[in-house]
Structure 1
Amino acid sequence: MTRPIVVLLLSVLLPAGIVAQKKPVTIESLTATRPPLPGPAVWAPDGKSFAFQEGKKIWLYDVPKRAKRELLSMDKLEAGARKGPAPEAFDWQNRNVREQTLQWSSSGKELLLSAGGDLFLFFPEPGGWTQLTATPEVEHDPKLSPDGRRVSFRRDHELYSLEISSRKVTRLTQDSSATVWNGELDWVYPEELNLGTAHWWSPDSKQIAYLQFDVSREPLYPHADLLHLHPIAEPQRYPKAGDPNANVRMGVAPAAGGQTRWMDLAVAPDMLLARLAWLPDSQGLLAQRLNRVQNVLDIILGDVRTGSTRRVLEEPDPYWINVHDDLRMLNGGKEFLWSSERDGFRHLYRYSIDGKELAQLTRGEWEVNDVASVDEPGGQIFFVSTEESPLERHLYRVSLNGEGRRRLTQGAGTHAISMGPKCEYYIDGYSSLSEPPRRVIHTSEGKEWAVFLEADRKTGEEYEILPTEIVPVKASDGTLLYARLIKPAGFRSGQKYPAIVMIYGGPGAQTVRNLWYGANFDQVMAHRGFVIWQLDNRGSAGRGHKWESVLFRTLGAKELEDQKEGVRHLISLGFADPARIGIHGSSYGGFMTIYSLLHAPELFRAGAAGAPGNIDWHNYDTIYTERYLGLPSENPEGYRRSSPVHLADKLAGKLLIFHNLEDDNVPFQNTMQMIDALERAGKQFELMLYPQKSHGIAGPARKHMLETVASFFERTLK
């Protein structure tokens, strides 16, 4: 299930504080074209500069000099790319696949770029480039070898290696088909395991490890593009709860060509391969293997010379395993860094390569969110955590022995960190409820070095951003919950206002934080006279594994209990009209919107549900659904209780459903089944459909969708 993304449109453009004579935030302002912002930093190997893309331009920022310069425009490369014919069928490659279009060589003298489907090598000094490929096919997922002599890529389900000096291209795999994919992920792995690639170079540049997916057993979902005279069938491989997953195996191929050696991982059809990492000596691999319901993770050590494997570590969990990217090799491959939620919170541990725990490095009733970097020569680990507050994120460092933990970031709020490879500098993307985002470069000691990106205060003078307040809510059992509140424009004490509960509610997401929310749809509705309320119920992220585990094997019920506590608290504040409360969310939030309307009709008068996943949890994908509900055959009652389609006759309020017809994440089938159930129950509702091939609604249709939702609440709550 896609996590909600806090909308930060205009966020770097709209400062807080200055509100006099400003315009209200409107749907037009949200959907207007804006200048592109700098993309993520791609650090050079020496850690003293980084490249970034802004629109079509590639820039280089020199950290010691505090200066940037333009390197090139991608338009020039795209003009030289060879364009092939348009594909006959739409490619349902998951949007979470993170192909690197900008990469440094290990020497720092070249940048590998992907433009127009072809590959280019750019030389920052003195400038200029060379084209590596000129084919009608697209070279997917390109990667420079660690020694900078070769580039690997995927083309038509096969892996290739290109020798840069000779331009010789070698096909590394030979056995692909329409359903057997080498070095290519299926749809569900990147969606639910957040795996972004399926091949990895060995440190010595002599071998490539890759995953092979046999998707023949995955059922096809029958999408169709209905905008043509004759509709075009666009089937998508989409395994639903209880369906077979792809068969996955891991091989190692010589980079210059030769026979693949398959690793003996014993990955049965009901197992998942979640992560892979090379040992520094290029002789071994660490693979993370999950059982199907994802409550046991094994770290497997494989010998690439023989293909033999052995289990290094078994990580069981009474609920489910949250996969992460914290594994780091240490001490020349004799040790590794690991994180575990075994005590209810995600913390860092150091292990020997034979699976012996050497030290627990962090502990407490807070969680590690991310390992920013490991400075092994300096004996330090840099990580981001919630130690200061579950509403904030800060950068810390701790020794490899777990001693001397120190917070580096200053200022209450949320800090997102990009650490340079030498741990000499890091970029801090910071914001808070009162401070719009800025990106500041710091030294490893936390000292501010340079401002990379500051808010555009001049543009921000146009709009009035109504303040967002964090409201603590104590549930009836004493549990402390957090909500955020926006009072309507022109708020007057003693007056009653309609309120909209903005909801996501699902696992793996936290929507109430000390960060800048900027100009978003909440602001639009607050300027139209609505109270905006959003609460993070138990089951959400940021408060530890025990906190989120309450929804295990039943989805919707515990979330709604806390949401009801929040609404009652909101009503007790005296300005929200209890007879005019609506609810709105998309994806899991769309599911919660319909679930809440059917289970708590006494609280909610109207609801707008976007891409409601899931009306019947049998319809959703294997990995996500089975993680939380288990297999349908083992938990039939949990599936039934969690599926609102069975309670269509309980609808009493007004309901709007909007959905893309070719949603790749939440199949439109969910909405169709809800429509059928409502019609059979004699219930009236509103429906808006969009002919897009995605989970979110973008382009001109996004403006239409926002106007539809706004109009719905204007009609039903005012």
Structure 2
Amino acid sequence: MMKFRVSVHAMSVALAIASLNAAPSASAQQQQSQAVAGTSFSLDELYRYKSLVGLEPLGYSWAADSSAVLFLWNDEGYSFRDIWSWSPKTGQKTRLTFLGKDSKPEAEARGIAQAVFLANGRIAFTLGGQLHIREADGTVVKAEADKRGIRKLTVSPDGSKLAFIAAAPTGTPVAGGGQLWVRDTKAGEGATATRLAGSDDPKLYIEDFKWADSGKAIAFQQADDRAMPERDIYYDAKGKLQNNRVIRAFPGEETSKTTVGLVSLAGGQPRLFERPDAKHDVWGYGLSHDGKKLFVSSADMEAKEHTIYLYDAATGARETFYQLREAKHLRPDWEVAWAPGDDGLIILTDRDGWLQLYHQKKAGEAPRQITSGKWEIASFEVDDKNKQLYFTANKSALQDRQLYRVPVAGGKIEQMSGPAGGTHEPVYSPDFSRIADWYSNDDLPPELFVIDTAKPGKAAQVTKSPQPEFYGQTWAKTRYVQFPSHVDGMNLLGRVSVPANFDPAKKYPVIVGSVYSDAVHNQWGGRRAHPTWGLDQYFVAQGYIVLTVNIRGSWGQGRDHNQTQYESYGETDINDLESGVRYLIAQGYADPRRIGIWGSSYGGLMTIMSLSKKPGLYAAGIAGAPATNVWHAFPAQMWIMGPPEGPDMPRRYEAQSALYQAKGIKDPLMIIHGTRDSVVLYSDTMALAEQMIQREQMFELVTLPGANHPWDAENIPQTRFSFKKMVEFFDRNVKNRK
């Protein structure tokens, strides 16, 4: 029998009701039963402009002296984020801007995108792609008014300069790219920045940069999309024909070429550091602390060969520092940083089968392993002064992301976050004295906490985001289960949510989803890529069990777990989902006749493949924006599906494409897709629809005019509409199945 933990909210509500009347009437008993079954909110109440769970605090940025941290938040739960600060000394948070006070909730404005400290109590921030400065007296002025798409504000180590990226002045701006500019931090409203790098051609752009410790130079990453194909995506919306023209490559076509460069603030042309193959992806780069060396971490398009090049910053001379090739490698989760004192590099790699930290001092030598174990590290930072490494890992439990530190020399690993499970996303202060921590768990929506690194395990809660009504509801009970694959015995992890009055003697309908890789997290709502926290809670409140599975190809369970997904879209992954279904059925409380499945994008591929290859296992499935044709995937999907050539083509790609595998679908299918989608083409859904019509296979199609790939996250009316369609479909075909 499974034992589920009861959330604090569920317990408090149940006890409060029990104390009201020792002998309740039949009507009161019925109301009590409904109250502890789950939230009483409708989908309209769960998804509203004044968010029930609040607006998560984002955009953490520390002052240079670590005396305060900025964050972007709305304490009322509306979508417009203003700037707030928190002081470790006083423990007080302060709202610094009030620009969202006049915004209309239904506009769903995102508000301020980024904020950083300048000198003398001033703050630079971006709003609507424009640079603004909040003066020390609270007044706000606009700067660099002739530029658009300003992003990535970064202050130099000495605090004297502010660098940023702005869109090229002509053409359509590339998302996240443009020209590199720098201006004095003391400059006022009318000052003009100096351009250091970047072209007027929007297809040749700077996408990232990093300051040298000296503040006299900047290393940058430049992308060149000029050889990539452009595609027209025509769709009807707002009463007329529209065109979403995008730069978009398919597997085998020309992709973006990336170059790392270095530019001096004193002037002159940037130096570009060439690699043997500019088509290879760059996964990291960085200048040494003394500014004399630069590393570039890169990999081939299939992520099978990881190479770190080391350059002389003055001459551009290159040597191969590190290289490892694995024929079935799937995930480019590598990270690289300079070791303290420029004593070689710290490398996060899975060379022993698990993502762990290594220290390599010289080119070609065997790296020394710092951490080890059957758990994985997601990211790390180097505390140069104290010669320590801070990292995020699932050491405590597969579903957790806890914070730790370890000496560079190796030794005892110290947990920095508290004992409670959950997910932490840290931003470290410059002196590593404190950690601004985005934290959430299954019972707690995301909040900002600040950890004092001198007191591991202790954190101050800065924000309280949910609305008062949140605390009066009874939410689902969630726990994690492990079970073997029914195919090869591999250990699998599942996240299971059940009604608060769960009775293991009953038979419950089950929703498997939303299915995807990396889908199992101990955080509010599970996955963050889709706003399905409320949909899942609604399903559970209506008497469903909701299951997600950490399928092969996911992070956190080692190389043997994820590499079995190689060239196996729609095969190994859907077997893992079936293993989760079999596990719940074997426990006795999942009704085998009432199992539904759904997912979006890759999850849509798995949904259609599951219905086709496993008829009768699922009563019905919903595929959102389904990636039915891997010939039209992004080239990065070649990590898993392999290159689009070879003696086994086209069979290999057709075997991984739902478009060619849908003949076996007999159970009810709903497809939800936006017509503007540039990630998964709506035309691929039309191709599948045409084939199914010719085969007289019945299905339902929900078309969202003008919607892009994140079809359930673009606006509240569309979210409500889509989720209501899903609930009606699953109630009809799963819950109330005859």
TM over 0.5: yes
State the 1:329 CA deviation.
Answer: 1.7
Aligned to 2:711: 696
1:341 and 1:357 mapped to 2: Cα distance? 14
1:165 and 1:16 mapped to 2: Cα distance? 54
Using a 3 Å threshold, how does the CA distance of structure 1 residues 701 and 16 change in structure 2: closer, same or farther?
A: farther
Residue 398 in structure 1 maps to residue 423 in structure 2:
no
Aligned to 2:166: 154
Residue 26 in structure 1 maps to residue 42 in structure 2:
yes
1:419 and 1:513 mapped to 2: Cα distance? 22
Residue 293 in structure 1 maps to residue 302 in structure 2:
yes
> Would the aligned equivalents of 1:295 and 1:320 in 2 still touch at CA under 8 Å?
yes
Local SS of the residue matching 1:18: helix
After superposition, residues 328-477 of structure 1 pair within 5 angstroms as: 328-357=337-366, 359-371=368-380, 373-416=381-424, 417-433=426-442, 438-444=447-453, 445-448=455-458, 450-454=460-464, 456=466, 458-476=468-486, 477=488
Aligned to 2:493: 482
2:120 and 2:160 mapped to 1: Cα distance? 13
> Would the aligned equivalents of 1:409 and 1:415 in 2 still touch at CA under 8 Å?
no
Q: 696, 704, 707: which one pairs with 2:724?
A: 707
- CA deviations 1:445-475 (Å, max 9, x no partner) are 3152532234758422432212123233233
Q: 106, 109, 115: which one pairs with 2:127?
A: 115
Residue 502 in structure 1 maps to residue 513 in structure 2:
yes
- CA deviations 1:563-620 (Å, max 9, x no partner) are 222222222233332222211111221111101000000211210111112x121110
State the 1:335 CA deviation.
Answer: 2.1
Q: CA RMSD in A?
A: 3.0
> Would the aligned equivalents of 1:25 and 1:465 in 2 still touch at CA under 8 Å?
no
Q: 513, 534, 537: which one pairs with 1:520?
A: 534
1:642 and 1:708 mapped to 2: Cα distance? 28
Give the counterpart letter for 2:534 in structure 1.
Answer: N
Q: 182, 205, 214: which one pairs with 1:182?
A: 205
Aligned to 1:650: 664
Aligned to 2:94: 69
State the 1:233 CA deviation.
Answer: 2.2
Residue 668 in structure 1 maps to residue 693 in structure 2:
no
2:361 and 2:72 mapped to 1: Cα distance? 40
State the 1:232 CA deviation.
Answer: 3.1
2:121 and 2:363 mapped to 1: Cα distance? 38
With 429-438 and 310-319 compared, the bigger mean Cα shift is at 429-438
Residue 213 in structure 1 maps to residue 229 in structure 2:
no
> Would the aligned equivalents of 2:130 and 2:149 in 1 still touch at CA under 8 Å?
yes
State the 1:222 CA deviation.
Answer: 1.6
Aligned to 2:22: none
State the 1:75 CA deviation.
Answer: 5.8
After superposition, residues 204-283 of structure 1 pair within 5 angstroms as: 204-269=214-279, 271-283=280-292
User: Number of matched residues?
Assistant: 666
Give the counterpart letter for 2:96 in structure 1.
Answer: L
With 334-343 and 562-571 compared, the bigger mean Cα shift is at 562-571
Using a 3 Å threshold, how does the CA distance of structure 1 residues 234 and 564 change in structure 2: closer, same or farther?
A: closer
After superposition, residues 500-649 of structure 1 pair within 5 angstroms as: 500-506=511-517, 509-511=518-520, 513=522, 520-613=534-627, 615-623=628-636, 625-634=637-646, 636=649, 637-649=651-663
Local SS of the residue matching 1:172: strand
Using a 3 Å threshold, how does the CA distance of structure 1 residues 242 and 582 change in structure 2: closer, same or farther?
A: same
State the 1:145 CA deviation.
Answer: 3.2
2:634 and 2:40 mapped to 1: Cα distance? 41
2:466 and 2:153 mapped to 1: Cα distance? 35
With 55-64 and 326-335 compared, the bigger mean Cα shift is at 326-335
Using a 3 Å threshold, how does the CA distance of structure 1 residues 489 and 383 change in structure 2: closer, same or farther?
A: closer
Give the counterpart letter for 2:322 in structure 1.
Answer: L
> Would the aligned equivalents of 2:10 and 2:500 in 1 still touch at CA under 8 Å?
no
Using a 3 Å threshold, how does the CA distance of structure 1 residues 216 and 450 change in structure 2: closer, same or farther?
A: closer
2:83 and 2:625 mapped to 1: Cα distance? 36
Aligned to 2:336: 327
2:700 and 2:123 mapped to 1: Cα distance? 52
2:733 and 2:256 mapped to 1: Cα distance? 46
Local SS of the residue matching 2:13: coil
2:101 and 2:484 mapped to 1: Cα distance? 58
Give the counterpart letter for 2:635 in structure 1.
Answer: T
Structure 1: tracts of 5 or more residues without a match: 1-11, 79-94, 184-196
Aligned to 2:696: 682
> Would the aligned equivalents of 2:516 and 2:599 in 1 still touch at CA under 8 Å?
no
State the 1:282 CA deviation.
Answer: 2.4
Local SS of the residue matching 1:618: helix
> Would the aligned equivalents of 2:69 and 2:436 in 1 still touch at CA under 8 Å?
no
1:711 and 1:642 mapped to 2: Cα distance? 30
Residue 305 in structure 1 maps to residue 314 in structure 2:
yes
With 593-602 and 161-170 compared, the bigger mean Cα shift is at 161-170
Using a 3 Å threshold, how does the CA distance of structure 1 residues 705 and 380 change in structure 2: closer, same or farther?
A: same
1:412 and 1:138 mapped to 2: Cα distance? 40
1:679 and 1:536 mapped to 2: Cα distance? 34
With 379-388 and 20-29 compared, the bigger mean Cα shift is at 20-29
- CA deviations 1:345-401 (Å, max 9, x no partner) are 000011215353463110111111221x33233232221222222122222221111
Give the counterpart letter for 1:693 in structure 2.
Answer: N
Using a 3 Å threshold, how does the CA distance of structure 1 residues 594 and 279 change in structure 2: closer, same or farther?
A: same
Give the counterpart letter for 2:664 in structure 1.
Answer: K
State the 1:708 CA deviation.
Answer: 0.4
Q: 54, 65, 82: which one pairs with 1:46?
A: 65
Using a 3 Å threshold, how does the CA distance of structure 1 residues 340 and 147 change in structure 2: closer, same or farther?
A: same
State the 1:440 CA deviation.
Answer: 3.4
> Would the aligned equivalents of 2:147 and 2:166 in 1 still touch at CA under 8 Å?
no
State the 1:17 CA deviation.
Answer: 4.8
Give the counterpart letter for 1:566 in structure 2.
Answer: G
> Would the aligned equivalents of 2:641 and 2:656 in 1 still touch at CA under 8 Å?
no
> Would the aligned equivalents of 1:13 and 1:456 in 2 still touch at CA under 8 Å?
no
Question: What's the TM-score, normalizing by structure 2?
Answer: 0.83
Local SS of the residue matching 2:511: strand
1:233 and 1:161 mapped to 2: Cα distance? 35
Local SS of the residue matching 2:193: strand
Aligned to 1:88: none
- CA deviations 1:520-564 (Å, max 9, x no partner) are 212211222323222223332221222111111221211122222
State the 1:73 CA deviation.
Answer: 2.8
Using a 3 Å threshold, how does the CA distance of structure 1 residues 221 and 400 change in structure 2: closer, same or farther?
A: same
1:128 and 1:383 mapped to 2: Cα distance? 39
Give the counterpart letter for 2:70 in structure 1.
Answer: A
Give the counterpart letter for 1:666 in structure 2.
Answer: V
Q: 161, 169, 175: which one pairs with 2:193?
A: 169
Structure 2: tracts of 5 or more residues without a match: 1-6, 18-31, 75-80, 104-109, 169-177, 527-531
Question: What's the TM-score, normalizing by structure 1?
Answer: 0.85
- CA deviations 1:57-99 (Å, max 9, x no partner) are 3122111211122223346999xxxxxxxxxxxxxxxx9xxx9
Aligned to 1:83: none
> Would the aligned equivalents of 2:333 and 2:349 in 1 still touch at CA under 8 Å?
no
> Would the aligned equivalents of 1:150 and 1:164 in 2 still touch at CA under 8 Å?
yes
> Would the aligned equivalents of 2:224 and 2:256 in 1 still touch at CA under 8 Å?
yes
2:445 and 2:616 mapped to 1: Cα distance? 38
State the 1:493 CA deviation.
Answer: 5.5
Give the counterpart letter for 1:177 in structure 2.
Answer: D
Aligned to 1:7: none
Give the counterpart letter for 2:701 in structure 1.
Answer: L
